């Protein structure tokens, strides 16, 4: 019995499409939403100008609901491959706790509501950007790229990079170089983050027929890609400081974070492996790199927000 069902006391009803409140929340991919909301909030914090605290809270809520809605639509579309991947088999739709059509309706309803409320609370530009990010994630990434190309994470990564732009637009109503830089940082952070994950979850992806880089190009090539993108990310993370959009606090933090990320990427590259490139250490360096990549983005964006607030 899936743990969520057991914990909710829902004995023996898996497969009946009667999900608990927890299942409906799980459809919104809360862990992914946390990072999205955080980068969106930082985009709002570093923007020049003032937004009423309630409108700022509504903006954060709309970004969270919009991202969650995209996650729900993604789970509806990917229910067939989720069912064969160990990591995702217990999700509410493949486990039969929520009916696919209900999940789709839930996602579409929340997506529409988040865009409309954001337009009412802030401006059309922010709402349009939220709509673009939802459509990009569901159509461009989920329906088009994910099952077709190993570059799915690179191009599709843009979907997760939109929140800083949405946050900035909510405050100012127009774009500027800094939010575009933040967007680029998240864009270049996504490949090493997901490829590190796919190095130790490639069997799942292979079983589901998802052409992740380790499946199509092999682990050795993926490790080189992780290293290459980490170098690019490190340089890009320093750009706000070089270009004068952030102060010394941010610059020093970004340099230190990039150095540690590079250390992890080198460990991934130098991991003991057999002739086929398969890790002999159960991909421990890749797991450490994946874990660190999450902290990297949180600390980097926090440093930028603090730097702008005290600077």
Partner 1 sequence: MPEPLDHLTRAQTQSVTRARKARNYAILAVLVGVCGLFYALAIVKLGGH
- Using CB under 8 A, pick the residue from 3, 12, 174, 310 that binds partner 1: 12
**Cβ of residue 13: shortest distance to partner 1, in angstroms?**
5
Compare residues 20 and 142 and give the one whose CB is closer to partner 1.
Answer: 20
- Using CB under 8 A, pick the residue from 48, 49, 52, 256 that binds partner 1: 52
Compare residues 13 and 306 and give the one whose CB is closer to partner 1.
Answer: 13
Compare residues 121 and 154 and give the one whose CB is closer to partner 1.
Answer: 121
**What is the phi/psi pair of residue 148, to 5°?**
-110, -35
DSSP class of 275: T
Contacting partner 1 within 238-277 (CB under 8 A): none
* Terminal CA-CA length for the chain: 53
Site for partner 1 contains 3 (CB under 8 A): no
**Cβ of residue 73: shortest distance to partner 1, in angstroms?**
19
Compare residues 14 and 204 and give the one whose CB is closer to partner 1.
Answer: 14
- Using CB under 8 A, pick the residue from 55, 84, 135, 284 that binds partner 1: 55
Instruction: Report the 10 Å Cβ neighbour count for 19.
Output: 27
Contacting partner 1 within 66-125 (CB under 8 A): 117, 120-121
Site for partner 1 contains 126 (CB under 8 A): no
Compare residues 121 and 181 and give the one whose CB is closer to partner 1.
Answer: 121
**Cβ of residue 98: shortest distance to partner 1, in angstroms?**
10
Site for partner 1 contains 20 (CB under 8 A): yes
CA distance 189 to 296: 9
The number of CA neighbours under 13 Å toward the Cβ of 17 is 5
CA-based nearest residue to 276, from 218, 225, 227: 218
What ranges in the chain are assigned the alpha helix state H? 3-7, 21-26, 30-45, 53-77, 79-84, 100-121, 124-135, 152-156, 158-161, 163-172, 177-208, 213-216, 219-242, 248-269, 284-310
Compare residues 21 and 276 and give the one whose CB is closer to partner 1.
Answer: 21
CA distance 282 to 271: 10
**Cβ of residue 221: shortest distance to partner 1, in angstroms?**
46
CA distance 56 to 161: 19
What does 52-93 look like in DSSP terms, one character per residue? -HHHHHHHHHHHHHHHHHHHHHHHHHTHHHHHH-TTTTTSTT
- Using CB under 8 A, pick the residue from 37, 44, 45, 58 that binds partner 1: 58
Total residues contacting partner 1 by CB under 8 A comes to: 20
- Using CB under 8 A, pick the residue from 21, 276, 309, 310 that binds partner 1: 21
Site for partner 1 contains 33 (CB under 8 A): no
- Which positions lie near partner 1, rule CB under 8 A? 8-13, 16, 18-21, 24, 52, 54-55, 58, 61, 117, 120-121
């Amino acid at each position: 019995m899936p743990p969520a069902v057991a914990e909710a006391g829902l004995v023996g009803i898996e497969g009946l499409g009667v999900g608990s409140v927890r299942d409906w929340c799980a459809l919104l991919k809360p862990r992914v939403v946390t990072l999205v909301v955080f980068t969106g909030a930082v985009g709002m914090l570093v923007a020049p100008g003032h937004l009423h605290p309630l409108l700022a809270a509504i903006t954060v809520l709309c970004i969270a609901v919009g991202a969650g809605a995209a996650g729900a639509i993604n789970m509806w579309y990917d229910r067939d491959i989720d069912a064969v991947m160990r990591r995702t088999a217990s999700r509410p739709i493949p486990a039969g706790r929520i009916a696919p059509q209900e999940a789709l309706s839930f996602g579409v309803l929340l997506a529409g509501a988040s865009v409309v409320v954001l337009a009412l609370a802030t401006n059309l530009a922010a709402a349009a950007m939220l709509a673009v990010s939802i459509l990009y994630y569901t159509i461009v990434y989920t329906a088009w790229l994910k099952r077709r190309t190993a570059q799915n994470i690179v191009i599709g990564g843009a979907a997760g990079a939109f929140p800083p732009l949405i946050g900035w637009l909510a405050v100012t109503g127009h774009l500027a170089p800094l939010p575009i830089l933040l967007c680029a940082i998240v864009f270049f952070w996504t490949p090493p983050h997901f490829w590190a994950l796919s190095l130790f979850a490639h069997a799942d992806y292979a079983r589901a027929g998802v052409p992740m880089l380790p499946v199509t190009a092999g682990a050795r090539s993926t490790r080189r890609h992780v290293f290459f993108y980490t170098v690019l990310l490190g340089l890009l993370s320093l750009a706000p400081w070089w270009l004068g959009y952030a102060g010394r606090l941010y610059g020093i933090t970004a340099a230190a974070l990039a150095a540690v990320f590079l250390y992890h990427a080198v460990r991934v590259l130098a991991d003991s492996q057999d002739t086929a490139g398969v890790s002999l250490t159960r991909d421990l360096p890749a797991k450490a790199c994946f874990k660190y990549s999450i902290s990297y983005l949180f600390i980097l964006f926090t440093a930028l927000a603090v730097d702008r607030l005290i600077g």
